[in-house]
Amino acid sequence: MRVLGVIPGRLQSSRLPGKLILAETGKPLIQHTWESAAQAASLQDAETGQPRLLVATDSLEIALCVRGFGGEVAMTGDHPSGTDRIAEVVRKSAPDADVIVNIQGDEPDIDPAAIDLVASLLIDNPETEMATLCAPIDDVDVLRDPSCVKAVCAADGRALYFSRSPVPFSRDRSAEELIENGESPWKLHLGIYAYRRDFLLGLTQLPPSPLEQLEKLEQLRALELGATIRIAEVAHRSVGIDTPEDYARFVASRRAA
């Protein structure tokens, strides 16, 4: 089964414009992400010895940056989401990809094993259309932050729901007590996805669903369609670069290494 990694990239970001091409470490941010992702075993092409990995973008600046460090680029039109951008690339340029992994460009320290894990959820579960990852929530601020999406899972790893609210709701015990006692039932959804090719192409042809529009979460469209999203848990999340402060910390950590 052929697994393709795609990093969707756009130049503008509301909190950190042009972040993917910032290069205070000596390398652009997207190159750090590329180099981490390229180590994933599931992306390796046995024939060429190269990773099946590309950047999908509508930005010439990002394209030139990626080509400058030897990465592969697919130019796209303007899209409302990274998922739609990836679907265009898959439809036009990746007819032999069975599983597509959506890798966030602003996560320079992404663990290659996380890419392998999310891909394996589709490889090992033929009935599953889509997969993603989660991590434990052990911080009340993260739990209550609507920008941190919570995942609710069944015992067999199927996603039941995703929400910006702190779900499940604890009626009888406070979140502080549960987290302090190491009994947190909450899971943080991580922004990495794997899709089967046909499912991805079909999903992006459909209009946003009611729950998706309400919560502004694309994955709810798949759940409302009745699709199976399988989730695996990892111990820690990779940190995304969203603000100037995030980037400053990343630069400092690289200079200290």
pLDDT tens over the chain, length 257 residues: 999 999 999 888 778 989 999 999 999 999 999 999 999 999 999 888 899 999 999 999 999 999 999 999 999 998 889 899 999 999 998 999 999 999 999 999 999 999 999 999 999 999 999 999 999 999 999 999 999 999 999 999 999 999 999 999 999 999 999 999 999 999 999 999 999 999 999 999 999 999 999 999 999 999 999 999 999 999 988 889 999 999 999 999 999 87
Pick from 88, 122, 113: nearest CA to 8: 88
CB 197 within 8 A of CB 90: yes
Contacts for 208 with CB less than 8 Å, ≥ 6 apart? 218, 221
Pick from 120, 114, 96, 104: nearest CA to 39: 114
CB 179 within 8 A of CB 139: yes
Q: How many CB atoms lie within 10 A of CB 51?
A: 24
Cα–Cα distance between 129 and 127 in angstroms, integer?
7
- 3-state SS, 171-201, equals CCCCHHHHHHCCCCCCEEEEEEEEEEHHHHH
Q: How many CB atoms lie within 10 A of CB 252?
A: 12
Structure-block tokens of residue 86: 């990836």
- Per residue in 140-195, pLDDT (tens digit) is 999 999 999 999 999 999 999 999 999 999 999 999 999 999 999 999 999 999 99
CB 225 within 8 A of CB 203: yes
pTM of this structure:
0.95
Domains of the chain (ranges; CATH) run 3-133+188-210+218-256 (3.90.550.10)
Cα–Cα distance between 3 and 45 in angstroms, integer?
9
CB 194 within 8 A of CB 101: yes
